[in-house]
Amino acid sequence: MTGAAGFLGSHLSERLLAGGHEVVGIDAFTGFYARRLKERNLAALRVARGFDLYERDVLDGGLCDLLRGAEVACHLAGRPGVRTGGAAAFEAANVGATRALVRAAASAGLTRVVLASSSSVYGACSGPVAEDAPLAPLSPYGHSKRRAELVAADLAGKLGIELVRLRYFTVYGPRQRPDMAFARFVAAALDGGAMPLLGGGAQRRDFTYVADACEATALALERGPAGAVYNVAGGRSVALADALALLGERLGREPAFEHRAADGREPRATEADLTLAARELGWAPRVGLVEGIECQLAHAGAELEDLAGWA
Q: Pinpoint the alpha helices (H) of the chain.
A: 7-18, 35-41, 64-67, 87-90, 97-107, 140-159, 181-191, 210-223, 240-251, 275-281, 289-298, 300-307
Residues 6+ apart with CB under 8 A from 262: 198, 199, 200, 202, 203, 268
> Cα torsion at 149, 67, 174, 255 (round to 10°)?
-50
Q: Which residues pair with 239 in a beta bridge?
A: 204
DSSP 122-134: T-S-SS-B-TTSP
> How many CA atoms lie less than 13 Å away from 249 in the CB half-sphere?
8
Contacts of 241 (CB under 8 A, 6+ apart): 197, 200, 201, 202
Which residues make beta-bridge pairs with 19?
none
153: left (phi over 0), alpha (psi -120 to 50) or beta: alpha
**Contact criterion met (CB below 8 Å) for 108 and 64:** yes
Decide if 9 contacts 17 (C-beta within 8 A): no
3 state DSSP class of 177: coil
Q: How far apart are CA 294 and CA 246, in angstroms?
A: 10
The catalytic site residues sit at 141
